[in-house]
Amino acid sequence: MIRPARYVTETCHTCKREGWTRLKRNSLLTQEEWDYSPIVVKGLPAGFEPMTGLCGSSIGEAIQEAKDYCKEYKVPGVGFEFNGASVFVTASSDTDKLYRDWWQEVYHETPEESFKRR
C-alpha cells in the first residue's frame, strides 16, 4: 500500500508566517513505500503487515502512526522493528503499554528509571 502524501498547514516555525503548508513525513514505511528489500520483522503474527521505521522518528510517533494505519486501512495489525526490538500494533493497542514494554526491552529498565539518571 502506497499512502498518499499528507500536508499540514500551520504557522512557519522560522518566520512565524501563517498558512505555511508542509509535507507531513511518515515515521513508518510499508513494503511498497520502502521498495528496497523485503522488510523482515522477527515474530510477525500472521495477517500483520511489516513496516520499517525511518531515521529521526520516535517510538511514540511510530506507534501512533501504526494504530492510525490499522484504523484507516482496516488491517489486523502492523509489526515493525525499532532500535532492535519488535513492536506489534493493532487498532486497539494501548499506546502507553506498547511504549513502556518497548523501552523495557531495549533499555532493560523503565522510562522513569532512565530519566531519573539524566
The pLDDT tens digits for 87-101 are 999 999 999 999 999
- pLDDT-derived band at 41 (thresholds 50, 70, 90) equals very high
On whether the CB atoms of residues 78 and 69 are closer than 8 A, the answer is: yes
Q: What is the pLDDT of residue 118?
A: 78
C-alpha cell belonging to residue 30: 510499508
Q: What is the pLDDT of residue 97?
A: 96
On whether the CB atoms of residues 67 and 51 are closer than 8 A, the answer is: no
Q: What mean pLDDT comes out for the span 55-84?
A: 94
For residues 23 and 57, what is the distance between their CA atoms, to the nearest angstrom?
15
Distances (CA, A) of 61 to 20, 36, 45, 65, 116: 22, 23, 22, 6, 23
C-alpha cell belonging to residue 51: 513496516
Which stretches within the chain are classed as H helix?
31-34, 59-73, 95-107, 111-116
pTM to 2 decimals?
A: 0.83
Q: What is the pLDDT of residue 93?
A: 96
Q: What mean pLDDT comes out for the span 12-40?
A: 88
Helix (H, G, I), strand (E, B) or coil at 16: coil
On whether the CB atoms of residues 77 and 49 are closer than 8 A, the answer is: yes
Given a cut of 90, whether residue 55 has pLDDT beyond it is: no
Helix (H, G, I), strand (E, B) or coil at 107: helix
